[in-house]
Amino acid sequence: MLKVGLTGGIGAGKSEVSRLLVEHGAVLIDADRIAREVVAPGTGGLAAVVEAFGPEVLAVDGSLDRPGLGAIVFADPERLAVLNAIVHPLVGARSRALESAAAPDAVVVHDVPLLTENSLAPLYDVVIVVDAGTETRLDRLVRLRGMTEQDARARMAAQATREQRREIADIVIDNDVPLAELERRVTDVWADLVRRARTRHDPPGPTEE
């Protein structure tokens, strides 16, 4: 099994790269998706969040009011630490369970937005960083996601810098390109990942003396 950490700044195109890798055969473990699943209605995770923050963090339908909770924790580092102490172990356990279910020769891609910020690179055999220029990312966030330019710049500034991400990368996928070119680049990266996975899975043959 090859464990791959996939990350990239907001607007760089990480989600598109993860989609293309899945099309090639990767097993995708999406940290953001799992973080939502572990606090879904009826879960112990949601019960723990309500116990810590009170019933006001619930929406009318009983689900977690994520914007409301975000407004509480991102203005208070201590409260954010409390939330992380609840959610992160649950996400980690679910990620490990999904990983253990993968085939021995699988390429398992962990989509982790804050991989750089949380110093998680040592957890993976290979770290892939999806990168794009500031203006490209800004255009995507404003044009495709409907953000204001001010909000987009603020979100970008709150993350690790491009240089910090590239420092921890084993593979950089530059995504200042049309989709067709990105698809070609991901195909090349996939071939490299498969070779690495096979090398890890297949023991070396006997040597002749």
Residue 189: closest CA among 31, 26, 12:
26
Kindly state the average pLDDT of the residues 86-95: 92
Asked if residues 8 and 137 have their Cβ atoms less than 8 Å apart, the reply is no
Residue 200 pLDDT > 90: no
Residue 204 pLDDT > 60: no
Instruction: Report the Cα–Cα distance between both ends of the chain, in Å, rounded.
Output: 30
List, by residue range, all CATH 3.40.50.300 domains of the chain. Answer: 1-26+106-200
Kindly state the average pLDDT of the residues 142-167: 91
Q: What is the pLDDT of residue 67?
A: 87
Kindly state the average pLDDT of the residues 50-60: 95
Q: What angle do CA 168, 176, 116 make, to 5 degrees?
A: 20
Q: Tokens standing for 166?
A: 């590239």
Please identify which residue in the block is written with the tokens 């909000």.
151
Kindly state the average pLDDT of the residues 46-60: 95
Q: Is 28 strand, coil or helix?
A: strand
The CATH code for residues 1-26+106-200 is 3.40.50.300
Q: What is the pLDDT of residue 201?
A: 63
Q: Tokens standing for 82?
A: 């409390």
Looking at residue 167, its amino acid is E
pLDDT tens profile 118-153: 899 999 999 999 999 999 999 999 998 888 999 899
CA distances from 28 to 106, 107, 125, 207 (A): 10, 9, 15, 36
Q: What is the pLDDT of residue 26?
A: 97
Q: Is 8 strand, coil or helix?
A: strand
Q: What's the pLDDT band for 52 if we cut at 50, 70, 90?
A: very high
Residue 209 pLDDT > 60: no
Residue 130 has a CB neighbour count (10 Å cut-off) of: 25
Residue 202 pLDDT > 70: no
